[in-house]
Structure 1
Amino acid sequence: MKQPKVIFLDAVGTLFGVKGSVGEVYSYLASQVGVNCDASLLETLFYQQFKKAPPLAFPKVDVMEVSDLEYQWWYQVAYDTYKEAKVIDKFRDFDSFFQQLYDYFASPHPWFLYDDVFPALQYWQKQSIALGIISNFDSRIYEVLDIFGLTSFFQTITISSTTGIAKPNSDIFIEALEKHNCQPEETWHIGDSKKEDYQGAKSAGINAFLLQRNEKIDRSDYTIIDSMERLISN
């Protein structure tokens, strides 16, 4: 494969993941304030509410407002998750609880780094390939990247909440490309979501690789890699 000028990567599910599951985290933290709920139920309900929610993107707002809007967005997802689990009334002070929940995901506790990340990033850095992140995440990504010592690898970080555009919309990929002043065909994008990452990147003309972390994927329609080391070896 021709060496790209820039490689863009997704964040959650590509660089780092949640230990266990989101449902387990939601269940554990709720139990710390005396609210018990099954982790598998919370996992199912969380993803239902997550998919129902509008994109985590806030177009045409002042940058100073973004942090509050991110917080409100996640508050609603969490509130609706516990409400659907029929335990919302068991919280004495849900607002205070949510503050702890929100801060928890900016700490090292819920996250783990995939084993292939450092070798791949170090290799591409040595090859003088510019690296960037394109993610439907919020501003806490900077804290998580610092936790794992990843910040210095990336020249650009493009996230949906501050750009006002969310993947798979091709405009977020185009905005990331403009930061590097390069053409789509000169870049790669690596991510674990068929729709948001692979199809979104392809719609912008970027060479896309679908990273198979957990779920089995129909290999006939996508350029699949089972680890980022696969790209290094080629």
Structure 2
Amino acid sequence: MSSTSSHSATTDVASSVRFPRPSLVTLDVTGTLFTPRIPVGESYLLALREHLPEGSGWERHLEELDADALTTAFMKAYKAKSAEHPAFGAATNLSSVEWWRDVVRHTYIHGGVDPALLQHEDGGSSGYFDRVFADLYYDVFVGERGWALLPNTHEVLQALSSWRGSLGADERPVMGVISNFDERATEALARFGLLQYFDFVLLSREQGVEKPHPQIFQSAVEEARRVRQQWTKEGEPASPSSSSCVGVDRTTHVHIGDSFERDIVGATQAGWSGVLVNNKGRQPKSDTNSAVNNFVSVNSLEDIPALFGLPTPV
């Protein structure tokens, strides 16, 4: 597939760049649309405190725990589990619940929590660790207790949605999600009111591979094709004039994300254009950067509409 002309990572003024009207636009989720509300270690420590039975005798121990140590332990546990069981266990037939249960347990143990506490039983219908884990897995990190939208996320997605809605089916880009996340991402997007903006959601857990693997990008192309077929089946009207399509490369695919290694390298190696949302001000490794073309770096999500010739929504 063809793609837009190359842009280097040093291009950080979105208004100076225009992509041809693409046929497919996808976005990453974590770090691009929303981010942890507080450091992971703090969320894990709060869960321990919230579910500790009154008078258990473990109160002093929880007061002595360090949230930063838990965050460090989480990063190590997450990295190790990802290497052993990629795609949240999909590649090794491990459920995402089992995958995360092991990560959470290892985070606590290596973050300074006494293993005896995790085995604490208080006569309830489930053990202490079971309740803590269920809260983290099924509620905290599926909504506003664990995640926070990045600034102007709704405004940016609404601007893109209005743009798409103004176009006929032949010109309108398909818009989707490609995320290294488990199946809870769809629920999280719904809770934040973001699911309405996307035609499809592709998750590494369900695909069995993670970005930067090209297979997940190819799956997005196939999914976009199905969306367009559905539009045709439903009788979506075409643009009133085909002249607007002259000179527009209808095979342009654009992926937007905050990770250079996963989002940009993955997208460009798949033949796509990439947009790095560099909201943390990180600089890609120079050796990797020089080997990757056809991407542009912006400072925040607010810069995205201008890439498609749209006004800044805020």
Distance of 2:105 and 2:281 partners within structure 1: 28
Unaligned runs of 5+ in 2: 1-17, 53-58, 121-127, 165-172, 229-248, 290-294, 308-314
Q: Could you say what secondary structure the match of 1:102 adopts?
A: helix
Match of 2:174 among 100, 115, 130: 130
Name the counterpart of 1:188.
Answer: 254
Runs of 4+ that moved beyond 4 A: 182-185
Q: What is aligned with 1:228?
A: 301
Q: Would the aligned equivalents of 1:9 and 1:134 in 2 still touch at CA under 8 Å?
A: yes
Which of the numbers 195, 199, 202 marks the counterpart of 2:265?
199
Indicate the residue corresponding to 1:89 in structure 2: 116
1:192 and 1:210 in contact (8 A); partners too:
yes
CA distance in 2, matches of 1:18, 1:116: 16
- The offset of 1:83, in angstroms, is 1.4
After superposition, the Cα gap between the structure-2 partners of 1:176 and 1:60, relative to the gap in structure 1 and judged at 3 Å, is farther
Give the root-mean-square deviation of aligned CA atoms.
2.3
**AA in 2 matched with 1:97:** V
Q: Distance in 1 between matches of 2:78 and 2:210?
A: 14
Contact 2:182–2:203 (Cα < 8 Å) also in 1:
yes
Q: Give the Cα–Cα distance (whole angstroms) in 2 for the partners of residues 79 and 41 of structure 1.
A: 14
Alignment of 1:31-46 (within 5 A): 31-32=49-50, 33=52, 34=59, 36=62, 37-46=65-74
**Which of these residues, 148, 157, 160, is aligned with residue 201 of structure 2?**
157
- Distance (Å, rounded) in 1 between the aligned partners of 2:281 and 2:109: 28
Normalised by the length of structure 1, the TM-score is 0.88
Percent of matched pairs sharing the same residue: 30
Instruction: Name the aligned partner's letter for residue 195 of structure 1.
Output: E
Paired letter, 1:99:
A
Separation in 1, partners of 2:70, 2:251: 41
Q: Which is higher, the Rg of structure 1 or of structure 2?
A: 2
1:59 Cα offset (Å): 4.3
Give the alignment of 1:2-151 within 5 angstroms.
Answer: 2-32=20-50, 33=52, 34=59, 36=62, 37-53=65-81, 54-55=85-86, 56-59=88-91, 69-87=95-113, 88-91=115-118, 92=120, 93-103=128-138, 104-128=140-164, 129-151=173-195
Tell me, in whole angstroms, the C-alpha distance in 2 between the residues paired with 1:86 and 1:219. Answer: 34
Q: For CA contacts below 8 A with separation 6 or more, give which structure has more relative contact order.
A: 2
Separation in 2, partners of 1:227, 1:107: 22
Displacement of 1:212: 1.2
Confirm or deny: 8 A CA contact 1:23 1:41 kept in the other structure. Answer: yes
Across the two proteins, how many residue pairs are aligned to each other? 228
Moved more, 155-164 or 212-221: 212-221
How far did residue 86 of structure 1 move? 3.2
Q: In structure 2, how many angstroms separate the alpha carbons of the residues matched to 1:149 and 1:194?
A: 27
Alpha-carbon distance in structure 2 between the residues aligned to 1:230 and 1:194: 17
Secondary structure of the residue aligned to 1:4 is coil
Measure how far apart 1:218 and its partner are. Answer: 4.0
Please give the residue correspondences for 1:172-183 in structure 2 after superposition, counting only pairs within 5 Å: 172-181=216-225
Q: Out of 221-230 and 168-177, give the one that drifted further.
A: 221-230
Shift of 1:167: 1.2
The answer to whether the 8 A contact 1:16-1:111 is kept is yes
Letter in 2 for 1:85: G
Q: TM-score, normalised by structure 2?
A: 0.67
